[in-house]
Amino acid sequence: MAHNARREDYQRLGLRFIRELDQAEPLAAMRTFADFGRRFSQERDKLPQDDADRAFYLVTLACDVIDHELPFSMGDKAGELVVRGQNLLDEAIALDPNCFDAIRMRSSNNLPTPSERAAFLKAEEPRVREVCEKARDGARDLGDMERGNLAAELAMRPYQRWLASIAEYELIGGRNRAAIATCEKLFEVDPSDLSDARFTLALALAKLEDEAGLDELARRYRTLCPSRGANDAWLLIARLALAHRQQKPALARTHLAEILRCYPNGAVALLRQNELPDGEFARLNVQPYSEDELVIALSEAVVLLQEGSDSSGRGVLGAWVAENTAKLRPKAVEECRLLEEQLEAQYGTQGQPGQFGGAGGFGGFGGFGGPAGFDN
């Protein structure tokens, strides 16, 4: 599970649609609701909704533009997408001044640095929590427990994403202890960790060389995310980084081998270590243990990989990871070379989509512009 704008839009309108049918005869209501999926996909504007629902739909469109199209676009096309994303978010805020997802996403374009974004989000956090909690408490009075619980959960999602963004910006800005504290606050309102704050927490703990903290986080996976083991890329990269810092190369290689075991198609990603824009709506929702997930984890882990100077320009740990991946998966070196040639032929030497720090617009880029390691 992860935050998914399209799924959430469907859930919001589905709840409202069901409430509209409460007065109908049960069999007729059942038949009508059976057609909801078709109507949602083909004539969404005709479904019952208020301005908050319409605003959230605009956020889903902005998410498509900013998170799914912009990172893979260049030049004039990228500029057009930036403007379109901004306009969609502005329209959402005009419809619903409490559309906190739109406000949060818009702030990453208005404020140039991670520290400024974190400061803005932290200043507004009490108001966001108050509004979301009021909506949650009202949702629980709907009568039907199942509907009420879902409505209450949806009401708190914008606040969860607000906290998740704060933690990510704190990590990028080198405020590792603050990032840890924000993750813990997020667990209080998101105990099943839909926001995957444990990923951000793992990287912050590694920055502080907190081995006991990483061990405790691994134990907490049983309650935070029982459907997955404590072997995701973020936690494994954090353990690898810690072993490397402790000058335990054999242990670091063991963790690297475990990453390759859990992500069998991930060797090229480990060699290339691309930096991608962070998802503005939320961390991108991809298949667990896929190459895409490893790419995202490596991009966020540049706070670890790019520490220190290295002749390759990768950073000390990044160079070590690439060198040892090549030894463990020598065939991947040729795959990587062929991919680079293909991308250069397609995009030239001026850069490739998803490999550079922005397209002149939204600024939520993992690892860009943050100090290497403040520990406050």
Q: Are 165 and 101 in contact (CB under 8 A)?
A: no
- Residue 29 neighbours by CB distance under 10 Å: 15
Secondary structure (DSSP) of 148-181: HHHHHHHHHHHHHHHHHHHHHHHHHTT-HHHHHH
Can you give the pLDDT of all 376 residues of the chain as single tens digits?
689 999 999 999 998 888 777 665 566 556 666 778 888 889 899 999 999 999 999 999 999 999 999 988 888 899 999 999 999 999 999 999 999 999 999 998 889 899 999 999 999 999 999 999 999 998 877 667 788 899 999 999 999 999 999 999 999 999 999 999 999 999 999 999 999 999 999 999 999 999 999 999 999 999 998 889 999 999 999 999 999 999 999 999 999 999 999 999 999 999 999 888 889 999 998 999 999 999 999 999 999 999 876 667 789 999 999 999 999 999 999 999 998 888 888 776 545 544 333 333 454 333 222 223 334 4
d(CA 370, CA 293): 22
d(CA 120, CA 166): 9
d(CA 187, CA 223): 11
Q: Give the Å distances, CA to CA, from 147 to 24, 154, 189, 190, 198.
A: 17, 11, 19, 18, 28
